[in-house]
Amino acid sequence: MNELLLLNGPNLGILGRREPEIYGSQTLADIERLVADEVADSGWKVVSRQYDGEGEMVRAVQDAYDTVGAIINPGALMIAGWSLRDALANYPRPWIEVHLSNVWAREEFRHQSILGALADGVIFGLGAEGYRLAARALVRRAAQ
């Protein structure tokens, strides 16, 4: 069975309780089920990880070279996660950066992602639906 890495960064483990007016009311477990449902017909299994530390995220990327692809919400590490960027630069599969909120409608310091230029795609501001769209895009890429 092929595995899809679903990697979430700092503070995303408390989704559903964390500023629901910005991040929505769905939990990370809800998002995991949403992605698993989206890729089920492809025979993919979702391997979900959430870490509050950058080093753990780097290790998760390095340990996932044999996955079919990845959906990554780096949280605030999109701004200054240089070691995560280096790990993703070497990740040999397609991956999509996802953010629940529209970072462009928020504070100016959130307006840049050091990771986005490496990603196969970037989705901002669609809430949990962004994860579903990322999963759908990766399935289609793999089929091509």
Residue 120 φ/ψ region, left for φ over 0, alpha for ψ in the -120 to 50 degree band, beta for the rest: alpha
Which pLDDT tens digit goes with each residue over 33-77?
999 999 999 999 999 999 999 999 999 999 999 999 999 999 989
99 is catalytic: yes
Both tokens of residue 9? 């960064």
Sign of CA dihedral 52, 81, 12, 118: negative
65 is catalytic: no
- Residue of 23, 51, 91, 131 marked active site: 23
Total number of domains constituting the chain: 1
4 close to 68: Cβ distance less than 8 angstroms: yes
- Residue of 51, 65, 91, 99 marked active site: 99
**Structural domain boundaries enclosing 89:** 2-143
pTM of the model: 0.92
Q: What is the CATH number of the domain that holds 15?
A: 3.40.50.9100
